Structure 1
Amino acid sequence: MMGPVLAACLLIILSTAWISQANEALCKKDGGVCSCNNNKNSVDCSYKKLTAIPSNIPVETTELRLNFNSLSKLSPKAFHHLSKLTYLSLDNNQLQTLPPGVFDHLVSLDKLVLSDNQLKSLPPRVFDSLTKLTWLSLNTNKLQRLPDGVFDKLTLLEKLYLENNQLQSVPRGTFDSLSSISTIELLGNPWDCSCNDILYLRDWIDDNKDKVTGAQDAACGDQQSKAVLDITEKDAASDCVSPNTTTAIPTSTTTPASVIYDDIHEIKVPQENFQKFLGYQEPDHLPTQPQCLMSISGYLGLMMSLMLTSAAILYVFHFLKKA
């Protein structure tokens, strides 16, 4: 009677191994493209030339590195199963925009790195769910404006990096909710010191000189020798239309396509209806070469597991029949 018992044990072991392989194919040791620590709570997918985020990142992951890849956009649900994440790096990719709600499930996130991308604007309320965030890097992008209230929910934020963008001003009250801020960097932006909406930024810098790194380095775009901190009401006498608003009066009958694009992706549209309209289905990218190899490896492993499992079942039936 030992034969059937051994066969049953073999069947259980093979089934467990098959399930484990299906769940863990993300990591290098399992034939995947990323590196994981022993507990799978730290996943490193950096420098992999990825054009899409792997779909099988373990739910218990707390640290996820996706920096130095070729990501140009994110699926709206890319991180929806990763509510335990505390650290997420997406820097040094090619991100041009962020979908509304992409970070909504990252309720434990402490540090978010989005620097060195191609972001021109941000969706309204994109950071509203990140109430535990203490570090936010948006530097070295192409941000031309910030939505009203974009940082309003980030009351625990300590470090904010906005340097080296294309910001000319910020909406009044942008930084008022940052009660925990200790470091903010603003240099390397072409601040428009001729418009009176810059006076909010001037006054905020003046009240928070100890928090603004290189306060004197936040300079006017048209006269780099003059700091925003030093401008007067006379300097900023013009009542300009802020680039942060969507109420600008058109100067011609033809609206540039770039302006239309920037405004469209800031309109809040129910994601389910939008996806249905476009016929959207995950994944939204073709798999990369490493992912294809991973899929082939997983397929071969699966076929081998099925063959061994079938053999074990036949072995069990054979002994039961003899018994």
Structure 2
Amino acid sequence: MMGPVLAACLLIILSTAWISQANGATCKKDGGVCTCNDQTKNVDCSSKGLTAIPSNIPVDTNRLELDYNKLSNLPSKAFQSFTKLTFLSLNNNQLQTLPAGVFDQLVELDRLELSRNQLKSLPSGIFDKLTKITYLDLGDNKLQSLPHGVFDELTELKTLYLFNNQLQRVPEGAFNFLEKLTRLQLEENPWDCSCRDILYLSKWIREKEGKVNGIESATCVNKKAVLEITEEEAAEDCVYPNTTTAIPTTIITTLASSNDDDIPELPVPQENFQKFLGYQEPDHLPTQPQCLMSISGYLGLMMFFVLISAAILYVIHFLKKA
């Protein structure tokens, strides 16, 4: 009669394990997606092959690591519950864009790491709420420009990494409010030193030389140091691509009154044309619970049902004998 007892115990154990996984699958020390430390409030979700941020991460998490995953997009409300977060790392993912307001609730954040992604641009005001941040890493991306005033609210910032991007210039006054800055890495960018726009950066570097580490390494495309550029060398009034944000009203009126055959083709950048038509990216992607917690969730579910079926057959077999 021990057979049915053992089978019943097996059923109870499997059911308990499955319920536990279903209720808190993403943040458990017993085989869940992420590793949690209840004492330090640290959650490590790195190197899990994640394509979406796990749910059920404790809202009182202090440190969240999401490095070395496959995140290509973030929901605009991805971090809205983590008001106690002081450390957030998203290095080595595939992020191409950041939705506006995605970091707005992280008012206690001290360190934000976004290096080695595919970011080409930043939304205006993306860091405005991070007034306590001291460390910001944007290195090893594909940033082509910076929004005006993007760092203005980061008055506590001490370390800023912008190296290995596609920056040709920075907006006038980009670093004026970073009074506590002690390190700024600008190297491995194609700084365009033929345009007047580079003069702000050149002057700023000269003024901060010896006070802010790393800035001297910024070089022009011709390998000359940015800090050595003179007004005579930066004489051109350059217009950079992707600066047009709307189609002039006069052009729209003219096109509307013309025959289709006479409408000229305008070189409007695709991203700007989408904005003109009112197109917006989806607010968010399905989260892991909506997808049954990814492939591991599917495998766990299949294994659960296989073992349950075996246990049931085992019980039936001994009941028949009895």
Which category of TM-score, normalised to the shorter sequence, fits these structures? Answer: 0.7 to 0.9
Q: Secondary structure at the match of 1:43?
A: strand
In the other structure, the counterpart of 1:261 is 271
1:289 equivalent to 2:287? Answer: no
CA distance in 1, matches of 2:121, 2:76: 17
CA distance in 2, matches of 1:297, 1:80: 33
CA distance in 1, matches of 2:17, 2:266: 62
Q: Secondary structure at the match of 2:38?
A: coil
In the other structure, the counterpart of 2:13 is none
1:236 equivalent to 2:234? Answer: yes
Is the alpha carbon distance of 1:206 and 1:48 closer, same or farther for their aligned partners in structure 2, counting shifts above 3 Å? same
Q: Secondary structure at the match of 2:147?
A: coil
CA distance in 1, matches of 2:165, 2:271: 19
The structural deviation recorded for 1:248 is 10
Q: Given that residues 31 and 297 in structure 1 are in contact (C-alpha distance below 8 angstroms), is that contact kept between their aligned partners in structure 2?
A: no
Q: Deviations over 1:156-212 (max 9, x none)?
A: 011000000000001101111111111101000000000001000001111111244
Q: Given that residues 53 and 287 in structure 2 are in contact (C-alpha distance below 8 angstroms), is that contact kept between their aligned partners in structure 1?
A: no
CA distance in 1, matches of 2:226, 2:266: 34
Letter aligned with residue 233 of structure 1: E
The structural deviation recorded for 1:134 is 0.4
1:109 equivalent to 2:109? Answer: yes
Structure 1: gaps of 5 or more residues:
1-15, 304-323
In the other structure, the counterpart of 2:255 is none
Q: Given that residues 40 and 60 in structure 1 are in contact (C-alpha distance below 8 angstroms), is that contact kept between their aligned partners in structure 2?
A: no
In the other structure, the counterpart of 2:143 is 143
Letter aligned with residue 294 of structure 2: T
CA distance in 1, matches of 2:184, 2:104: 24
How many residues are paired up?
A: 273
Is the alpha carbon distance of 1:281 and 1:167 closer, same or farther for their aligned partners in structure 2, counting shifts above 3 Å? closer
1:97 equivalent to 2:107? Answer: no
The structural deviation recorded for 1:32 is 1.1
Letter aligned with residue 75 of structure 1: P
CA distance in 2, matches of 1:274, 1:79: 20
Give the TM-score taking structure 2 as reference length: 0.75
Q: Given that residues 27 and 57 in structure 2 are in contact (C-alpha distance below 8 angstroms), is that contact kept between their aligned partners in structure 1?
A: no
Q: Deviations over 1:80-131 (max 9, x none)?
A: 1111100000000000000111111111110000000000000000001111
The structural deviation recorded for 1:254 is 3.5
Letter aligned with residue 239 of structure 1: D
Higher deviation after alignment, 32-41 or 105-114 = 32-41
Is the alpha carbon distance of 1:249 and 1:76 closer, same or farther for their aligned partners in structure 2, counting shifts above 3 Å? closer
Letter aligned with residue 102 of structure 2: V
Output the aligned Cα RMSD.
3.3
Percent identical pairs in the alignment equals: 55
Q: Secondary structure at the match of 2:81?
A: coil
Q: Secondary structure at the match of 1:102?
A: coil
Q: Deviations over 1:255-291 (max 9, x none)?
A: 36xx3327857x9x9xxx968xx69774398553134
Letter aligned with residue 290 of structure 1: S
CA distance in 2, matches of 1:40, 1:293: 31
Q: Secondary structure at the match of 1:206?
A: helix
Structure 2: gaps of 5 or more residues:
1-15, 249-263, 309-322
CA distance in 2, matches of 1:152, 1:86: 20
Give the TM-score taking structure 1 as reference length: 0.75
In the other structure, the counterpart of 2:216 is 216
1:39 equivalent to 2:49? Answer: no
Q: Secondary structure at the match of 2:227?
A: helix
The structural deviation recorded for 1:246 is 3.6
Q: Given that residues 35 and 45 in structure 1 are in contact (C-alpha distance below 8 angstroms), is that contact kept between their aligned partners in structure 2?
A: yes
